[in-house]
A and B are shown apart, each in its own frame.
Chain A
Amino acid sequence: MDIYFKTDDLSVGYNGRPLIRDICLQLEKGKVLTLIGPNGAGKSTILKTITRQLSALSGVVTLDGRSLTAWQPRELAQRLAVVLTDRVRPELMTCAEVVAMGRYPYTGLLGRLTPEDEAAVDGALALVHAENLAGQDFSTLSDGQRQRVLLARALCQEPEVLVLDEPTAYLDIRHKIDLLELLREMAHQKQLTVVMSLHEIDLAVKSSDLLLCVQGDGIAAFGPPEQILAQHTIEQLYGLEGGSYNPLFGSVELGGPKGKPKVFVVAGAGAGIPCYRLLQKQGLPFATGILFENDIDTPIAKQLTDYVVTAPAYTPMTGEQFEAAARLLEGCELVLDAGAPIGPLNRMNQKLLALAQEKQIPVRRVGE
């Protein structure tokens, strides 16, 4: 497939000072590209440059085979629409009127709307599930509703490329998912090319065909999400300390309590996670085991503590692992029984609870 949108050695920045250099990206029609990177890395600057709000310091942005600067404003507006982070507060405008502004590049000198234009407005409002807002004053909306109406405005412009700067910023989780699903759907069905910036890395990974990692003065990586996850670029990009972000699940953990473990959690099958989080919030350092390496508890446990005893998947736990766990348990003041089911493979966990009773360490069963 042909490259529809690309940049060659693009440098962007303000007042002639380059902020990010040598941006090279290529995008086919109908693909979703997401820019990720820490705050202030220059994601917005790149987006402003590829939408011609800022002029490029060097390099070329090409859309549909033509340099961005060669397009007439009206022609470009028929191909490229934006959703910005600018605070928009027009007075006395209904949402339908805001959306109808998207018809700007199609209407005549006085901006009169034809029935087709009105149909496009209705269609765009329906796409973002905002039909009921049509007659409302735009300035009375909540931030989330406003964002959806602004998205409808951009869709109403019927672009080939849609550029969105942090479109999920004010949305609740349901509307975040709705928005990203809608963008994917538009990309898939209508061959809409999407370029956006997101703060939610997990959503970026799940919704994009390509990721562009923006870091300081350059591009840290550009490629499909799987490739970028494999390279551990994301942890470096955000300067995350080992394990506090789990790219596979997209789950973020706050830092685990430090120090010698005071509580031992006998866990497994997901029962441990609520205990870990509770202990983390109380600031109590803990140890846990014995967990199979494929247990859902394992990655979270590893993010929150260094004291995790694990066993290889699908094989019975061994005495060796029991010994390791027992050593940790004996040093603790309390044992928590998370209530994981016991089967033929993890009998050692039952032995651990018995050991605690024998050593007169109090055992609490979760839920009691």
Chain B
Amino acid sequence: MKPNRPAPRLSDPGRFALVMFFLAGLLLVGLVLNVNIGSVSIAPGQVFRLLWDAIRYSAANLVTRGGYAGALEAVVKATTESQILFSIRLPRLLLAAVLGGALSVSGYLLQVFFRNPIAGPFVLGISSGAKMVVGITLIFLTPYLGTLSPWVLILAAFAGSLVITLFVLLFSQTVRSMSMLLVIGIMVGYLCGAVTDFSITFASEYDVVNLTNWSMGSFSGANWAYVRTALLLCLPGVAAAGLLSKPIGAYALGEGYAQSMGVRIKPFRVALILLSSLLSACVTALAGPISFVGIAVPHITRSLLKSAKPAFVIPASFLCGAVFCVFCDLLARTVFTPTELSIGTVTSAFGAPVVIYMMVQRRRTQEG
């Protein structure tokens, strides 16, 4: 240590490692609690044993190309507990973790894009846009296509997200103030909500039940197909966001400086929007609209890291979002059993205060 340099000059990798370790620990706790608590409680020891067996056999199954399928099946279907664990709680937990992480990264990318820490897929109306298109798809296409695969829903949500993002973008060219941008986002959100409600009015009762469940926002519909789809889309999406961390850092200095340092602004901005829309669309399609995670989690992450270095913030946000959603889902599931809260209720309860705090804080630092 050099004595004349008390403050760290660059973002501290040690702190990053510590935060990641802490979040991973929390995630593990969340995992155990989540599979453990419920109408049927499963002892942690048994959870780990079952998990270990399942992992062992699936690995062996992969290596021997199907040689252990029977053994795997036996583990999964052995008892009620194992069935609950493998077909309900585990996929739900994984889905909550992956989608929570994806939503946080999606929000972070939007904040980079608008250079505004309170941008997020929910407040900008992008989630509502996705919900609108998914809703319309559910109502008008289900009669023709039967049960819709998650891919169709994701595609619909992606289209909705993109359309609304471009719409908000169009306005953001004329209004530079960040509060105006939010007002526009909220208005667009209401507009999409109105269209969704309008469609529901003309839908058959059966479709509406489907839609209401979904539109409340919940991880309760989780199954392994959803988990696989989410992993397949979100992990590459987050990895791609990680690859953008260098230009994201430069972009924090403003477009002019970023351009002067060699960032190709237009493709970069397009990449930000596409990635962010893809991630939030994935979430909206598989779990419904979930509010405030996209704003609150990146903020919490930055505060934990005491740094805005994108190469740190992106992975830490993903992990932090996973932790946040796993715990929120746990609360949604268990606080008022057997009634289940929608996930949005819980994330709002925790996320909205964080956002209010941020706005007050910013005002103070900007004007004080």
Interface residues of A (CB under 8 A from B): 51-53, 73-74, 76-78, 80-82, 84, 86-88, 90-94, 96-98, 100-102, 104-105, 107, 109-111, 113, 134-136, 139, 153, 157
Contacts and interface: CB of A to CB of B under 8 A. Distances in A.
A107 B246 contact: yes
A104 B250 contact: yes
Contact of A111 (B253, B264, B306, B311): B311
A98 B7 contact: no
A25 to B, nearest CB: 20
Contacts of A111: 245-246, 249, 311
Contacts of B260: 51, 53, 77, 80-82, 84
Interface stretch (B8-16, B18-26, B183-191): B8-16
7 contacts: A73-B263, A81-B260, A91-B252, A93-B252, A94-B7, A94-B11, A139-B365
B252 A90 contact: yes
B361 to A, nearest CB: 11
B257 A96 contact: no
Given A77-B261, A88-B253, A101-B250, 20 more contacts: A51-B260, A53-B260, A73-B259, A76-B262, A84-B257, A90-B253, A91-B117, A91-B308, A92-B302, A92-B307, A94-B11, A96-B9, A97-B10, A102-B261, A105-B262, A109-B243, A110-B243, A110-B246, A110-B311, A111-B246
A14 to B, nearest CB: 14
B249 A135 contact: no
A86 B256 contact: yes
Interface string B144-181: 00000000000000000000000000000000000000
B307 to A, nearest CB: 6
B243 A73 contact: no
Nearest to B259: A53
Given A82-B256, A110-B245, A100 B263 contact: no
Interface string B241-278: 00101100110111011011111100000000000000
A94 B308 contact: no
Residue picked from B117, B243, B260, most chain A C-beta under 10 Å: B260
A48 B96 CA distance: 47
A51 B260 CA distance: 7
B138 to A, nearest CB: 40
In the complex, the 8 A-B pairs of residues with the closest C-beta atoms, listed nearest first: A135-B7, A77-B262, A96-B9, A111-B246, A104-B261, A92-B308, A73-B262, A90-B252
A145 to B, nearest CB: 15
Given A90-B308, A94-B7, A97-B11, A84 B261 contact: no
B262 A74 contact: yes
A211 to B, nearest CB: 24
B3 interface: no
Contacts of B263: 73, 104
B271 to A, nearest CB: 14
Contacts of A135: 5-9
A13 B11 CA distance: 40
A136 B8 CA distance: 9
A113 B10 CA distance: 10
Contacts of B245: 110-111
Nearest to B306: A92
Contacts of A91: 117, 252, 302, 308
A105 B247 CA distance: 11
B243 to A, nearest CB: 7
Contacts of A76: 262
Given A53-B256, A82-B257, A104 B9 contact: no
Contacts of A84: 254, 256-257, 260
Contacts of A92: 302, 306-308
Nearest to A100: B10
Contacts of A53: 256, 259-260
Nearest to A139: B365
Contacts of A81: 260
A88 B9 contact: no
A196 B256 CA distance: 16
Contact of A73 (B6, B9, B11, B264): B264
B254 A88 contact: yes
Interface string B286-303: 000000000000000010
Contacts of B7: 94, 134-136
B9 A94 contact: yes
B186 to A, nearest CB: 24
B296 to A, nearest CB: 16
A213 B307 CA distance: 44
A308 to B, nearest CB: 49
Nearest to B302: A92
Contacts of A94: 7-11
Contact of B254 (A73, A78, A86, A134): A86
A283 B250 CA distance: 53
Nearest to A92: B308
A346 to B, nearest CB: 58
Contacts of A109: 243, 246
A100 B11 CA distance: 11
Contacts of B256: 53, 82, 84, 86
B360 to A, nearest CB: 15
Contacts of A52: 259
A96 B10 contact: yes
Interface in B27-57: none
Contacts of A113: 10
Contacts of A90: 252-253, 308
A98 B261 CA distance: 12
Nearest to B253: A88
